[in-house]
Structure formats: C-alpha cells, structure tokens
C-alpha cells in the first residue's frame, strides 16, 4: 500500500498522541522484580538506552542493595518493594506500568499472576514457567486483568534473526531439509539453575530453549514429534536434581528433522545451522547478548547494527504493545508453546520413546 508523506506524518502524530494519552506523555515505567545478573547487567542497562521505557520501581529481598540501585536509576525510595508486599503497594503507583520478572523459573508464574492482578503489564523471562498448567494460569491472569504479557525471547527482536528468517522465507536456501542447534556452557557450583525446585529442569530449560526457538523461528513450523535423551557425566554435586546434558530431535509436519543439544557441562559455543536444498543459513554465535554472526549461503550476512541492545528491543516492544494496544509478538501463548514442547522432551527422556505433540 502506497502511503503519502502527509498521511504518514498524520499517522505518526496520531500514534504519538495515543502514546501521550495512554502514558501521560511519559516513558513506560518498569518495576524490576529480582535484582540478579540478568536484571542488573542486561535489562536495566538496556532500558537506560531506551527512549520508550524507564525504571520506576524495584522489588528485592535486600533493602540495602535496592537502595543503591534505586539511586543509580533515579527510582524513589517509596517505589522499593519487598516480595511480600509489592503487589499490594504497587497497584496505586501510576509510574509503574509494567514489571520485569527476572526470578528463578519456578517463581515466574506466581509473580506474573500477582503483577497482573495488581494491574501491571508483565515482561517475564524465559522459560515462561516450569509447567504447562502454570503457563495457562499466567495467560489467564493477564487476560482477566486486560494486561499484556510478553515472554523475554530477545532473539525474536534481534535483527540478524529477522534477516535470517526473511532470507529463508524468500527461498534463498530452497526447502529446509535439516536444522542443527546447540547451546551449552559449563555451569558453576551452587547455581539456582541446577536446583530443580527453582529451575524446573537443567540446561534444556535454561539454554536449550534457545535451540528450540531457533528451530521454530527458522522453519516457521511447530514440531509434531520429539525424542530426547539426557545424561549426567560429572558426579560433582552439580547435577543431583537436573540433567547435565540433553540431546533431542524434532520432526515437523513438512518432514523437516532437527537435532539439538544442550549442556551444563560443556561450552558448545551456541550456534545453529539451517540446511536447505539450495544452501545454508548459519548463525554462530547465535544466542549471545551481542556479536551475533550470520552467514547465508557461505557469505557473511551479519547485521552490524547492535544498537539498541536486544534487551532494549524487547522492553520497547512491550512499551509499544501497551501504547498501541497490540498483542506482543513473543506472547504468553508463544511461551506456552515452548513449555509444552520442553515437557514432551523430558517425557521422551523418561519413557525412552517418541512423544507426539
């Protein structure tokens, strides 16, 4: 559809006016729930680079730490909350439009539901939750409160991913025949990620989910069948409750087969390769916070613009969805799809047989 400059300017002015109406002419305010590494080192610095968002509240179990962070981000001391009272007190804080849930996986459901009930939109880290039932509760709570729910699949907003998907849809590699994806790292001792009560599972939940996303995003299909096997090699106390290594394959309706592996015992580099009848799309590294490298049919095709940061992009996307009343791209339903598949992979590991979806 052709659009005249006048129409475009009018539409842009109207969108800005709508944003002004809904947010009072200010940036969307995020309350950060959980001041861990991903909040402190990634998401909050990402918001600092945004012209659509700002940090307006903090939830932490450590008041001292929270006060230091509050000063850094100009958050009023009255907007520092505890895990016990945040939802009751936050309801009346009109500077908080949304929360960023950056807690261990098993807490995602509770804090998403409480935030939605407190009238706040939710950006929740992945994996969405530790069970399909929890995902459904989260979607239900957001819908009931008429709030947006975005799962933090930062790669869905990353320009190399968008370019790779476009190249594949344009037929540049022909029919997709196979996909390989791998993401693993060597985890330290005493990480919450290796405590199943907090994590819901091992590397599959934490980093394997990126491989699943790569297969689904690049193919544009949903898996019909999965097959998984897991193992523990290092009996050094890290893997008492979760798997150390896990490999799985998926069969898609087109006939596409994919192989994935994930690990807490080795650094696999984090990459994927999409093999087509006419060529190949490769990304390596494919899952890091920046520096992604894309190759299409053997030629470097990397998008060099890594600004704004991936975390800025996902924060901005929720802000846009709030202002424009749109469904987030990486919605609760999208998070649920992955959890359903990951749970089927674990079931396949337990039952040693293919699981149909």
> What CA–CA distance (Å, rounded) separates 260 from 181?
5
Residue 16 near its own copies by CB under 8 A:
no
247 binds its own copies (CB under 8 A): yes
Q: How many residues bind its own copies (CB under 8 A)?
A: 44
* Relative orientation angle of helices 108-117 and 132-144, to the nearest 10 degrees: 10
202 makes contact with its own copies (CB under 8 A): no
Whichever of 122 and 274 has its CB closer to its own copies, that residue is 274
| Angle 104-308-18 from CA coordinates, rounded to 5° | 90
Q: Which of 27, 52, 120, 126 is catalytic?
A: 126
Annotated catalytic residue 153: no
289 is catalytic: no
- Does the footprint of its own copies cover residue 201 (CB under 8 A)? no
CA-to-CA distance for 286 and 279, rounded, in angstroms?
Answer: 18
Q: Does 353 bind its own copies (CB under 8 A)?
A: yes
In the structure encoding, which two tokens stand for residue 49, read together?
């680079």
CA 67/CA 13 separation, integer angstroms: 38
Q: Least distance to its own copies from the beta carbon of 87, Å?
A: 42
Q: Which of 49, 196, 251, 313 binds its own copies (CB under 8 A)?
A: 251
Interaction pattern, residues 154-193, with its own copies; x per rule: CB under 8 A: ---------------------x-xx-x-x-x-x-------
CB-based burial, 101-140: b 16+ in 10 Å, e otherwise? bbbbbbbbbbbbbbbbebbbbbbbbbbbbbebebbbbbbe
- Residues in 258-317 that interact with its own copies by CB under 8 A: 258-261, 263, 265-269, 273, 275-277, 280
Q: Residue 51, class by beta-carbon neighbours within 10 Å (0-12 exposed, 13-18 middle, 19+ buried)?
A: exposed
Tokens of 340: 């359903």
Q: How far apart are CA 240 and CA 182, in angstroms?
A: 23
Residues marked active site are found at: 126, 210
**Binding stretches for its own copies (CB under 8 A):** 175, 177-178, 180, 182, 184, 186, 225, 227, 229-234, 244-249, 251, 254-261, 263, 265-269, 273, 275-277, 280, 352-354
């Amino acid at each position: 559809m052709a659009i005249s400059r006048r129409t475009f300017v009018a539409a842009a002015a109207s969108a800005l006016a709508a944003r002004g109406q809904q947010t009072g002419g200010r940036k969307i305010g995020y309350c950060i729930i959980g001041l861990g590494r991903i909040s402190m080192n990634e998401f909050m610095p990402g918001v600092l680079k945004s012209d659509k968002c700002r940090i307006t509240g903090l939830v932490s179990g450590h008041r001292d730490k929270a006060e230091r962070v509050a000063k850094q981000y100009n958050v009023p001391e009255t907007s520092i909350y505890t895990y016990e009272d945040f939802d009751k007190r936050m309801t009346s804080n009109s500077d908080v439009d949304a929360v960023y849930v950056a807690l261990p996986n098993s807490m995602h459901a509770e804090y998403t539901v409480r935030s939605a009930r407190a009238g706040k939109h939710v950006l929740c880290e992945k994996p969405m939750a530790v069970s399909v039932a929890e995902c459904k509760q989260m979607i239900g709570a957001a819908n009931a409160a008429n709030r947006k729910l975005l799962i933090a699949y930062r790669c869905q907003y990353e320009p190399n991913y968008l370019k790779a998907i476009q190249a594949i849809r344009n037929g540049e590699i022909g029919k997709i025949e196979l996909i390989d994806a791998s993401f693993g790292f060597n985890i330290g001792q005493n990480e919450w990620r290796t405590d199943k009560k907090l994590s819901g599972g091992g590397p599959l939940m934490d980093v394997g989910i990126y491989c699943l996303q790569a297969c689904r995003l690049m193919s544009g299909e949903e898996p019909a069948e999965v097959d998984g096997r897991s193992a523990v090699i290092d009996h050094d106390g890290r893997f008492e409750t979760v798997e150390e290594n896990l490999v799985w394959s998926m069969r898609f309706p087109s006939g596409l087969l994919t192989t994935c592996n994930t690990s807490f015992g080795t650094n696999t580099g984090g990459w994927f390769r999409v093999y087509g009848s006419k060529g190949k799309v490769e990304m390596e590294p494919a899952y890091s916070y920046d520096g992604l490298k894309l190759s299409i049919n053997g030629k470097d095709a990397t998008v060099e613009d890594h600004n704004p940061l991936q975390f800025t992009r996902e924060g901005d996307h929720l802000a846009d969805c709030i202002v424009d009343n749109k469904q987030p791209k990486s919605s609760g339903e999208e998070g649920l799809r992955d959890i359903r598949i990951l749970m089927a992979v674990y079931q396949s590991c337990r039952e040693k047989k293919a699981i149909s979806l």
